[in-house]
A and B are shown apart, each in its own frame.
Chain A
Amino acid sequence: MARKDFLDIASLTREEVEYLLEQAVPFKDLFTRSVKKVPALKGKSVLMLFYEPSTRTHSSFEVAAKRMSADVIDLDVPQSSVTKGETVKDTVDTLQAMRADYIVVRHEMSGMPLAIARQTKASVINAGDGAHAHPTQGLLDAFTFKEVFPETDGRKVLIVGDILHSRVARSTSMVMRKLGVEVAFLGPGSLVPRDGTEGMRRFTDYEEAMKWSPDVVYLLRVQMERQDAQFFPSLGEYHRVYGVTQERLERLADKGTYIMHPGPVNRGVELCHEVMDYERSLINRQVENGIAARMAVLFWLKPGTGSEPPMTTE
């Protein structure tokens, strides 16, 4: 069951998901030791290829790789829209020269990690591509969820926010459903797609969604530029209609509902300020679990099991 790449949740079986979640537990146990490092990836190199800025995911992967004794190389690549002219071929040529064992890729274009994986022998890990997938986020969310709810089947997660543009929504809903968790989406009609979300409930009204009684309310980060594109009228209106306001937080507390968020939180938009003291917030635990989940992924993959990069005919 070894694999070369970790590109999405969709291609994983439930057994593989469960396996990775089990593997993550002993990795997390290491964090309580005085020496948090193990030599499992000694002599291996992990290349960080972040075409989009990211503090959390980048440092989480970096810590994960270093705790496994790998060498971490940060490739200085142009970020954001400057990369439009960048082709896979250019990138792969650079990568071949670096002889990395693992490549962690974040790119604004959906499908870019797959395109790279097809052309390199290194193990490629998708650290987020466009609106397509963020599979290690999905895994760490499932890990966090399973710590609170060891029996996942039949539990309920409500994912709130910009589903349309969110790779987190895609990967996290997918991994949860693989574990038998019921998933529903809540957000403005312009940001919750109708197609592709079959098998999931679709709410556009907060109160309706709460009647569904989710065990976890998973809030997505609102991208500020969406407001400019008129997906909703204003941030204030968004907070009033879809945000967890102080009054809503109190009701969540009464029902014992947990809160998750991939971070960083826009306080006052998707969540009120008081959430920082909310006792059933799993947000900080998600960060810690992210390292363990990513260590489990790094340990699972087997670089070099793919085919030779194809020759271009030109």
Chain B
Amino acid sequence: MNLILKGGEVAGEEGAPRRADVWVEDGVVKGVGEKIAAPDGVRVVDCAGKLVVPAMFDAHVHFREPGQEHKEDIAHGTEAAINGGVTGVVMMPNTNPAIDSAAVVRMVLEKAGEVSRIPVYTSGCITRNRAGAELAGIDGMRKLGVRMLTDDGDPVANPSVLMRAMEYASEFGMFFASHCEVAELSGPRALNLGRVSYQLGIKGSPACSEEICMDRDIRLAHAAGAHVHIQHVSSGIGMETIRFWKERGARVTAEVAPHHLMFNEDDIGEYDTNYKMNPPLRLAEDNAALLEGLKTGVFDQIATDHAPHSEFEKSQDFVTAPNGITGVETALVSLYDRFVRAGDFGWDLLVKRYSAEPRRLMGLDPVPVEEGKRAELLVFDPNGETTFSREFMKSKSVNTPFLDRTLQGRIEMVVAGDEILLER
């Protein structure tokens, strides 16, 4: 493969996008410059008015395989990722069976090797079957490349179990990702405790349920000398908790999900299950605080918590319907539409937080569009539009608030190494 992306602007982690042509040859960025003359036989792609952007990386996806393939599987999940400009993912281990041993990790990675066009990483459970009691087969998973340990979907309820796991596994260079809540406080329903939970008549989960657990996990990691990564922070005080501990020098990183930036409890309307997830949507002021946290670097990265559920499951009543929405396909365009276009932040933030930092978290090199680096990039048309129709989406599930909505911005092409993964 040999092509020149001509006339576009190149986005990176620092500064505004700069006008440059990009020459990709044999999977490597051969040149980035103001004007690159195309040698004979090289395909020229007109990128005037468009952006050439490092491809995204999503460190929090639920691909449901093994065990819940009616919701999603690795083949569909990775195609959905490509459709959203994402060329690397970290799977969560709350599958069935849970990814809690070398055997299941091997099965998942082998499957990914067969069906996926992008690299798939998986996290492993902290405790066996995510039951919060016995430690999972940590060393076996580590040998297969697992770096992130998490019981995501649930916290490790017993602090002493978590602390021991941290003391044990940190020695292997592994880190911990925390889904934060105190089960006794939050109850079974994913809905913020407040005005909307009162109106809908459903027991609400207070933000302090998440904040207490977050604070606890950071303190435990601090005491155990571990690195803890706080997943999908949903509240302003949660953001401040992380800021506090970062300022104290704790080894803590954190992520924020697009839906917690964009939506709040008012969007639930009359029991719309496409706004039901855990942690739940909170208030407009939390949206603002989370955005502030993203802009000031309290959040290291954006991760979607891509959580597919079948239409049948989500069409149940709000209480019964499962938690979570899809995101890997809609994140980049919706973040552009909602924030970049409005001037809340620029492409540099998007690249840093949704492409470079999640790769660094996983011990991978970022993929800047620079001469000599492996080509892993996408072409984005800010003037184009994307309609998230059933036909457009590649995921097995369509449980997203963006279903059938049209947003500004369009991913035109995704390139990884020597392969054009997507071209519209």
Contacts and interface: CB of A to CB of B under 8 A. Distances in A.
Contacts of A193: 198
A82 B89 CA distance: 40
B195 A198 contact: yes
Nearest to B199: A196
Contact of B318 (A110, A133, A312): A110
B391 interface: no
Interface in A173-220: 193, 195-198
B13 to A, nearest CB: 40
B201 A170 contact: yes
Interface stretch (A17-25, A35-43, A111-119, A154-162): A111-119
B235 to A, nearest CB: 14
Contact of A196 (B194, B271, B317): B194
Contacts of A55: none
A129 interface: yes
Nearest to B390: A313
Interface string B135-169: 00000000000000000000000000000000000
B315 interface: yes
Contact of A115 (B197, B312, B316, B390): B316
A262 to B, nearest CB: 15
Given A193-B198, A196-B199, A314-B311, 19 more contacts: A84-B320, A87-B312, A109-B318, A110-B201, A110-B202, A110-B318, A110-B319, A111-B317, A111-B318, A111-B319, A130-B201, A131-B201, A132-B201, A170-B199, A195-B194, A196-B194, A312-B312, A313-B311, A313-B390
Contacts of A167: 201
Contacts of A84: 320
B133 interface: no
Interface in B183-199: 193-199
Interface string B283-312: 000000000000000000000000000111
A253 interface: no
Contacts of B198: 164, 170, 193, 195-197
Interface string B57-71: 000000000000010
Interface of B: 70, 193-203, 270-271, 310-312, 315-320, 390
Nearest to A132: B201
A131 B317 contact: no
Determine chain B's interface SS by DSSP, over half rule.
loop
Contacts of B311: 312-314
A10 interface: yes
B196 A196 contact: yes
Contacts of B195: 195-196, 198
Interface string A125-146: 0000111110000000000000
A84 B188 CA distance: 13
B315 A88 contact: yes
A109 B317 contact: yes
Please tell me the size bucket of the interface on A. Answer: 20 to 34
Nearest to A112: B317
Contact of B202 (A88, A89, A131, A195): A131
Contacts of A87: 312, 316, 320
Contacts of A109: 317-320
30 contacts: A10-B199, A87-B312, A87-B320, A89-B312, A109-B317, A109-B318, A109-B319, A110-B202, A110-B317, A110-B318, A110-B319, A111-B202, A111-B318, A111-B319, A112-B319, A115-B271, A115-B315, A115-B317, A129-B201, A130-B201, A131-B201, A131-B202, A132-B200, A167-B201, A170-B198, A196-B197, A198-B195, A313-B311, A313-B390, A314-B310
A110 B320 contact: no
Contacts of A170: 198-199, 201
Contacts of B194: 195-196
Nearest to A109: B319
Contacts of A164: 198
A39 to B, nearest CB: 35
A88 B321 CA distance: 10
Most buried by B among A10, A107, A130, A312: A130
Given A110-B201, A111-B200, A312-B312, A195 B317 contact: no
A187 B186 CA distance: 23
A134 to B, nearest CB: 10
Nearest to A84: B320
Given A130-B319, A196-B194, A110 B312 contact: no
Nearest to A314: B312
Contacts of A88: 315-317, 320
B8 to A, nearest CB: 38
Given A130-B202, A132-B200, A196-B196, A111 B271 contact: yes
A114 B270 contact: yes
A128 B390 CA distance: 35
Contacts of A133: 201
Nearest to B198: A196
A170 B200 CA distance: 9
Contacts of A129: 201
B277 to A, nearest CB: 16
Nearest to B70: A314
A143 B317 CA distance: 31
Contacts of B201: 110, 129-133, 167, 170
A40 B270 CA distance: 32
Contacts of A197: 198
A314 B310 CA distance: 8
B319 A195 contact: no
Contacts of B319: 109-112, 130
Contact of B315 (A10, A132, A312): A312
Contacts of B197: 195-196
A89 B70 CA distance: 17
A6 to B, nearest CB: 14
A114 B312 contact: no
Nearest to A7: B270
Most buried by A among B203, B317, B320: B317
Contacts of A111: 200, 202, 270-271, 317-319
Most buried by A among B193, B201, B390: B201
B40 to A, nearest CB: 49
Contacts of B271: 110-111, 114-115
A84 B197 CA distance: 20
A195 B310 contact: no
B283 to A, nearest CB: 10
B199 to A, nearest CB: 5
A89 B315 CA distance: 8
